[in-house]
Amino acid sequence: MLVDERRSRILKMTEEQGFIALQTLVTALGASESTVRRDLESLDAAGLIQRTRGGASFPGDARADFDARRSLASVEKQRIAQRTAQLIHDGETVLLDGGTTTLEVARNLTGRSLQVVTNSLPIAQLLMNQPEIELIFIGGFVYPKTGVALGQLAVESLQRVHATRLIMGTGGITDDGLFNSNSLLVETERQMIASSDRFTLVADSSKFGQRALSHLCELREVDELVTDSGIDCHWKQMLHAADVSIEMVETAATEQPLAGQ
């Protein structure tokens, strides 16, 4: 059997069943375990499936979203979130996109006096009972995996609001700009950028060089980036050229040797 045929069959089976065990694939395809592993590795790198222990899942499946939810925010993410929260002034109107990093930012906004606009159910849930925060939710079709509202209704709602600052994460950053995995999401995020004065991007260093399905925007649309110090020199130059101001937090790697803290 040819490589491409085998891989497309894996893809098809994963899409149909949402989740598939490695051993099942070995039997179904008649290939060795090593080969199937390599196929999964390749498909995962291409972003077409999501590898999990013991098999693979389809990115759109409900059972798969679990990984994303489970993943504890890394130390970098938390640091980035803290710094980002510090950049926000009391009284601002902040537009918060969905995502794990922005959720961390929201955690750091509790007790602050702000107006928050968001399309993320988890963030709304978190901030809904904060007495000092006036919360406006952007409605729309709720994407099951992440709990963010998308689509036409979301875009139209966003057209009616205006924020002084947008906090957004991203799937990947390359020379060509920002990327995200979902085209519906990208459409909504474009309107977010249009509805805000200042665009603050939050992205840990692992996002650089990553490319995802849909192109979101050019790099120069970003006003400000909060990232960790693991970022490569090449990207610093590129960001500088695109007129993006950089806020950098120490990575765990550079700080751990310093103290017991």
Partner DNA sequence: TTGGTTTTGATTCAAAATGACTGAAATCAG
Partner DNA sequence: CTGATTTCAGTCATTTTGAATCAAAACCAA
Q: Which residues bind DNA (CB under 7 A)?
A: 1-3, 6, 21-23, 31-35, 37-39, 41, 51-55
Query: To the nearest whole angstrom, how small is the minimum distance from the Cβ of residue 42 to DNA?
Result: 9
Cα of 184 vs its chain's centroid, Å: 14
**The CA-based dihedral angle spanning residues 47, 49, 50, 55, taken in that order and rounded to the nearest 10 degrees:** -150
Q: Provide the mask over 173-212, with x wherever binding to a second copy is found by CB under 8 A and - wherever it is not.
A: ----------------------------------------
Work out whether 93 is an interface residue with a second copy (CB under 8 A): no
The site partner of 256 among a second copy, DNA, none (C-beta below 5 to 8 Å per kind) is none
Q: Which of 2, 233, 258, 259 binds a second copy (CB under 8 A)?
A: 2
Which tokens go with 104? 């961390």
CB of 143 to DNA, least distance (A): 27
- Rg of the chain over all Cα atoms, to the nearest angstrom: 20
Q: How many residues bind a second copy (CB under 8 A)?
A: 58
Nearer to a second copy, 24 or 174 (CB): 24
Which stretch, 137-145, 177-185, 188-196, 243-251, contacts a second copy (CB under 8 A)? 137-145
Rounded CA gap, 139 and 148, in Å? 9
Helix (H, G, I), strand (E, B) or coil at 149: strand
7 versus 177: smaller Cβ distance to a second copy? 7
Distances (CA, A) of 16 to 9, 30, 59, 60, 184: 10, 19, 12, 11, 22
**Which residues make beta-bridge pairs with 249?**
228
SS3 136: strand
Of 73, 80, 103, the C-alpha closest to 251 is 80
The binding site for a second copy (CB under 8 A) comprises 2-5, 7-8, 11, 19, 21, 42-43, 45-46, 48, 52-55, 57, 60-67, 69-72, 119, 121, 124-126, 128-131, 134-142, 144, 147, 149, 153-154, 156-157, 160-161
